A = this chain, B = another copy of it.
Amino acid sequence: MVVDSGYRACVVGLGSMGMGAALSCLRAGIPTSGIDLSEARRDQFAAAGAEGVGASIADLEGEFDAILVLVVNAAQARAVLLGEGGAAGRIRAGGVAIVSCTQSAEDAKALAADLEAMGVQMLDAPVSGGAAKAEAGQMTVMASGSKAAFAAAGPLLEAVAGKVYTIGTDIGLGAMVKVIHQLLAGVHIAAGAEAMAMAARAGIPLDTMYDVVTNAAGNSWMFENRMKHVVDGDYTPLSAVDIFVKDLGLVTETGRSLKFPLPLASTAFAMFQSASNMGFGGEDDSAVIKTFSGIDLPKKEG
């Protein structure tokens, strides 16, 4: 669908998800600008046909109907939108800030309240799916917000998402669903690592173990995606250990605020913290397997 109105979009954060979303917007015919601190990423997006690129909103001109914020955490989202020369001031009347970082429901509510005080509406809209789905304009979006916010976000969401879940109207519900989703994602990576470590200890070839599990009822999306890195001995970070230190930290903090026990998430959180403490925080999150001692893991070939 080519949008022939004057709809203008801006994507803040041209990481693996943000770049995919931004390119999907261009493909859908939406004039789209991009903001990132990395010059290489700005150049990449400019070459792809961006309306504009910049290191901050100050480098761009005019107002936007939708600003999609795909940064790492709540603090960055707040800084980008409400900091000095914040991007929120460049959202057109009736436009929307689509906040897609993984954050707590409390942080999402606080941000929405401060945006509302400026007359800007927010969509609480975390995403999942990985870089490949983002690239294809097929992200999964789990969103909450007012009907008006959904309407203002509509053309952009249609461009970037394969599936948009409307969790409800209350800001915070989208964030909560994403936090609970990350509980599963994090536990599944850690469980995959635990199982593969046990296989290594028991003398089972890891490529065989991987084949069996991915063809049986013990499989998970994360096992299939991340344990391949272990089989290949390649810990180049696609998503780093410290991302799950952050996300499982959010999960366990949310559990504490609900006074709700989360035995598996708490255990997996400790495993990722151990991995980070051992110096693997910047490696691929599958490196959580390196917390298990006394096993030989495959080494990268070549």
Chain A residues close to B by CB (< 8 Å): 105, 128-130, 140, 142, 163, 165, 167, 173, 176-177, 180-185, 187-188, 190-192, 194-195, 197-199, 201-204, 208-209, 211-213, 215-223, 225, 254-255, 258, 260-265, 267-268, 270-271, 292, 294
Decide: A176 and B192 in contact? CB cutoff 8 A: no
Residues of B within 8 A of A202 (CB): 105, 176, 180, 254, 258
Point out which of A129, A140, A177, A187 has the most chain B C-beta atoms below 10 A from its C-beta: A187
Complexed CA–CA distance, A218 and B186 (Å): 8
Q: Offer 12 A-B interface pairs, CB within 8 angstroms, sorted by A.
A: A128-B217, A165-B211, A173-B204, A181-B195, A181-B212, A181-B218, A184-B191, A188-B188, A191-B191, A194-B262, A194-B263, A264-B268
**Taking the full assembly, how many copies of this chain does it contain?**
2
Complexed CA–CA distance, A177 and B209 (Å): 7
Residues of B within 8 A of A264 (CB): 187, 190-191, 194, 264, 267-268, 271
Q: Distance (Å) between the CB of A40 and the closest chain B CB? A: 26
CB < 8 Å neighbour of A220 from B190, B215, B220: B220
Q: Distance (Å) between the CB of A175 and the closest chain B CB? A: 10
Decide: A191 and B183 in contact? CB cutoff 8 A: yes
Complexed CA–CA distance, A132 and B265 (Å): 31
Q: Distance (Å) between the CB of A68 and the closest chain B CB? A: 18
Residues of B within 8 A of A213 (CB): 181, 184
Q: Distance (Å) between the CB of A88 and the closest chain B CB? A: 27
Complexed CA–CA distance, A215 and B130 (Å): 12
CB < 8 Å neighbour of A183 from B182, B198, B255, B262: B198
If A184-B218, A218-B181, A221-B217 touch, whether A212 touches B142 (CB-CB below 8 Å) is yes
CB < 8 Å neighbour of A195 from B180, B211, B217, B219: B180
